[in-house]
Amino acid sequence: MSLRLQAQSLACERDDRWLFRGLDLDIRAGEIVRVEGPNGSGKTTLLKILSGQLADYEGELFWDERPMRKARDAFLASLLYLGHAPGVKAALTPLENLAWYQALAGQAGGESARFRALEEVGLAGFEDVPAGQLSAGQQRRVALARLVLAPRPLWVLDEPFTAIDRDGVAALERRLVEHARRGGCVLVTTHHELTPCAELRRIRLGGGGADAGI
């Protein structure tokens, strides 16, 4: 598998307004692609389209150089999507939330792997605390532990830096770069200014179209 996500002539309209149109994308292994643009420019919508969550769009998507309609199963098996909300169940502990994520994704993995993932995101000692009693930043870290736990090559992340502290931001930046350098791919929206690196590429939405650059 070449780990290549492409879009051709992608367009999406909301409330009689084009968020973007004529958008061509070619996202490959080894890249961190940051989607930028003002509020309302369609960043989250684009991520949901590219991750297969929205079907209300024009254009074509391809995975590994195959039409998405023919490659959907392989694509979903390669994808890890984290949305703007942490998606944490308040009544469950961090350990239980990770077990729930794994069950939904059909992933194998024991409790020891979940403990290690939580330790890596700075939640050692909080494994058995109900998530509803954790801070917003700690809840975000529970979600980010999935990046450690799930061996998926394509990460699609919507505002993953929200609510985490400076140390957490630095650790997450390192994780994104390491993932790209190991041959993975990251597609991300964030208000945080990512540290420039060779792996980083930017796509800017706005005005009904897009500009791509480094």
Q: What is the pLDDT of residues 145-201, one digit of tens each?
A: 999 998 899 999 999 999 999 999 999 999 999 999 999 999 999 999 999 999 999
Give the structural domain span for 94.
4-213
Confidence category of residue 208, pLDDT binned at 50, 70, 90: low
* Angle, CA 199 vertex, CA 113 and CA 76 arms, to 5°: 50
CA distance 135 to 138: 5
pLDDT of residue 106: 80
pTM given for the model: 0.93
pLDDT at residue 115 is higher than 70: yes
Domain count across the chain: 1
What is the CATH classification number for the domain harbouring 83? 3.40.50.300
Q: In this prediction, what percent of the chain has a pLDDT beyond 70?
A: 96
Cα–Cα distance, 101 to 149 (Å, whole number): 10
Q: Where are the alpha helices (DSSP H) in the chain?
A: 43-50, 68-78, 94-105, 111-120, 136-149, 166-181
